[in-house]
A and B are shown apart, each in its own frame.
Chain A
Amino acid sequence: MSDTPTDTETAGRRTFFTKIAAVAAGGLATLAPLAAGVWMTLDPLRKRAGTAGFLPVTDAATLPDNGMPRQFPVIADRVDAWTGFTAEPIGAVYLRREKGSDSIEALSATCPHAGCFVELDARDRCFRCPCHNSVFTLDGGIVSPSPSPRPMDSLECRVDAKGGVEVKWENYYSGIAEKVPRS
């Protein structure tokens, strides 16, 4: 069965508006859940890694002044969405003291190349990343040729009056030449 057009011009105009209206109504109706969904999906962009500030890591007395780094866990309270953790290991640092020096250097154990865990090779006196074979000197410098675009990330470090070593823990973007903090 088909309609017989009586006034094609009016019918044509009416059909055109009907089409527009149908598309608009349907589109708007779908847009609501879509927009709400996108809004919620983008939520993580609001989250910023709160800087934990200086965290106590160890006692300066435990650090030999032989230039050989030692690994320490970084402990802090941590929040993961709805779960709160108290005193959880959130990362690891290498601390070292040069011969006869009082100042302590701190290096993040996270590889600046792709984020693996850099290991200390005491025998060869260097750091090695087990993932893509980046090698670093004991002070974190690059050993060329290296897949890593930059030296190991040094962290701010201070010793308080009682001899406690504190490190300012920070995560950096990996794979780029600049040291850009994530926070």
Chain B
Amino acid sequence: MSSPDASRGRGILGQLADFLDDRTGYRGLLAEALYERVPGGARWRYVWGSTLVFAFITQVITGLVLWSSYSASGQTAWESVYYIQHEMAGGWLVRGIHHFMAQAMVVLLALHLMQVVIDGAYRAPREVNFWLGLVLMTLVLGMALTGYLLPWDQKGYWATRVATNLAGLVPFAGPAIQQLVVGGSDYGHHTLTRFFALHAGFLPATLVLFLVVHLTLFRKHGLCAKQPITKPDGMFWPDQLLKDTVAMLAVMAVVLGVILLPAMRAMLEGRPIDPGELGAELGAPADPAQPYAAARPEWYFLFLFQFLKVFEGWGASGEFFGAIVVPGLVMAIMFLMPIIGRWKLGHRFNIAFTLAILAGAGLLTAMALNEDYAALWSDRAAYADVEKLIEETGNDPAAIATALDHDEGKIADFHRRARALEKIRRSEAFLAAVQQAKQDAHRAVELAGRPERIPPGGALELVRADPESQGPRLFAQHCGSCHAHVDPDDPGAEAVFAKSSAANLFGFGSAAWMRGLLDPAQVAGPAYFGNTAHAEGDMVNFVTEDLTDRDEWSEADIDAVVAAMAAGAMTHAAAVSPPDAKLVERGRELVADEARCGGCHHFGDNETELGYAPDLAGWGGREWLVGIIADPIHERFYGESNDRMPSFGVAEEGAMPAMSDEEIGLVADWLRGDWYRPATGK
């Protein structure tokens, strides 16, 4: 208590402090907070609790800022996170800190837990505080889990779907819990609003409550000093606090380092830096209809993910056991630690148990990573003989046994190596999926950055209407079983052509494609008509006989026809470097000429009737391509001489065609290279 005498002769600040202390007693509170005795002096091993508090404060600060720019709904979650990450000043940094500090927090939790168990800090009278700590740990993990979904990208969406499906396995209440968390029977707006309310409201509020009690009890019991005490006691302020703050700084430095390292590397290599690419990743927008083979939980949950694979062949009880029973038992044993630890042997058991769990989790994580990335350090070529045998025998066990002369040893060895090969192939598939995911994410961001901005229906609308990303998928699904789409200059192109039963459509409509068609060496080859019913047709005859007659067709004539066709199709390639106008003019005359191409094909103002050969008016253009995909037997195209191509856009009255108009349009645009490209060439 200050007396009027004491403040005499002091400055205005001193008097204000006295006034405040008189009304609040803050000096006493501060002294209580700072002058805590540290038995045996300050130590580095006591810093983990403080770093966790610091990490939480970091999450509150960055979280509140993110909150102020985040919008939780199916059409705005990804979009608002995109805006934070790629357009807002400092958004990438705040999001990056939030993302990586969450991961640091999990590591710090493990360290804090380990230190508490090893030091026996859970023993009487600190049992309750240990239990509170376990509750805090569960809350932090809950926040990590709920936060993963909020960007509403493919990664978070598919990983969280697995997590909520597992919640459905809880006995009795499982389906109800699942429905409550998901906010209905299916993923949607309410999944996001609920996860967000949990992540930013309920869980942190509960955490603060428990944290206050945790810290109060910690002060009540005092620090559990490492025995034996050899040095004189120290004070929390400033001895221990200095060590704590240095540790906090180190944690922050690591987090910032992880975010900024790629930028530093880019700077050293002289590459331009896109801050949107720094910090936390943002995948493509969540799409329930688009498979995501790269789905994995965040790395600190990978051990649980891997753990589920351990129960192969256990049937329904396996997943229940792996996802519910074992984690439940581990938590139960941890809750019992203060009681088990009353005996000396029990304490040793607790330490061994904690270390075993952490080592087990580490091992499972390593196994998960090894499975996913095995292809990076394995040599698939070493299994070429196994691969060949599988292909030759169709993986039929009897045929394989025959091929190996029924030699038990050889067969066992074959199966061992077949399993190893299988692992490599799985890993390759995963790595390819990751690559695809990166590509999709990059494209989604590119589309979102268009000058027209994101439509009210959300970024998924943009992605679904994008020929560059949807074209290859639709082509593979509907066209790829007959047509190839490979650059003829690719090393593996010949092998692909040999397997296809229709023309290679790479660059269809371009000058290069047309030149290949008019090349006598190629027209009957597998990249054009070779594997079709037209292999000995009139066009092949024309190219191999008429076109090679230099008295009739000069090289310049052929150049002109190529230019005219490319100019008519006006694919992206032609739009970028338009063919010479004079050449085009000359070419158009040649194509229309009824003594030349026009003898079979309708073009320009010639009067050749449709039905014998494809109409060349508008050849390779969008309208022409959409038309031939929809209905190749139409008289404008192949009519009755159509070789096996289905009419993708035509169905009987009331029935559904194989492809919708939108899908056909996407394939046509993709073949033509007509898709959005950012102006700056970002």
**Residues of chain A having any CB pair with chain B under 8 Å:** 41-42, 44-45, 47-49, 56-59, 61-62, 70-71, 73, 80-83, 88-92, 109, 113-117, 119, 124-125, 128, 130-133, 144-147, 149-150, 160, 162-164, 171, 173-177, 182-183
Contact = CB atoms under 8 A, between A and B. Distances in A.
B461 to A, nearest CB: 10
A45 B180 contact: yes
Nearest to A68: B481
B353 to A, nearest CB: 27
A164 B656 contact: yes
A173 B311 CA distance: 19
B654 A162 contact: yes
Interface string B187-228: 011100000000000000000000000000000000000000
A44 B182 contact: yes
Interface string B277-315: 000000000001101111100000000010011011111
A145 B312 contact: yes
Interface string B642-682: 00001000011111111000000000000000000000000
Contacts of B657: 59
A163 B655 CA distance: 7
Contacts, number: 149
Interface stretch (B163-171, B340-348, B375-383): B163-171
9 contacts: A44-B182, A56-B656, A83-B189, A89-B288, A92-B291, A124-B395, A125-B395, A147-B318, A162-B651
Interface string B389-401: 0100011000000
A91 to B, nearest CB: 7
| A interface secondary structure, majority | loop
Given A49-B186, A177-B315, 10 more contacts: A45-B176, A58-B656, A80-B188, A90-B288, A116-B161, A130-B291, A144-B313, A149-B315, A173-B168, A176-B169
A59 B651 contact: yes
Contacts of A71: 477
Interface stretch (B425-433, B532-540, B559-567, B573-581): B425-433
A70 B38 CA distance: 69
A173 B430 CA distance: 26
B146 interface: no
Given A59-B657, A115-B162, A47 B185 contact: yes
A175 B166 contact: yes
Which of A58, A59, A88 is most buried by chain B, counting CB atoms within 10 A of its CB? A59
B522 interface: no
A54 B477 CA distance: 23
Which of B183, B186, B433 is most buried by chain A, counting CB atoms within 10 A of its CB? B186
Nearest to A183: B185
B320 interface: yes
B315 A81 contact: no
B316 interface: yes
Contact of B313 (A115, A117, A145): A145
B635 interface: no
Contacts of A119: 291, 293
A81 B646 contact: no
B185 A48 contact: yes
B658 A59 contact: yes
A149 B319 contact: yes
A116 B162 contact: yes
Contact of A83 (B75, B161, B292): B75
Contacts of A58: 656, 658
A65 to B, nearest CB: 14
A175 B655 contact: no
Given A47-B179, A146-B312, A147-B308, A57 B318 contact: no
Which of B74, B289, B429 is most buried by chain A, counting CB atoms within 10 A of its CB? B289
B289 A90 contact: yes
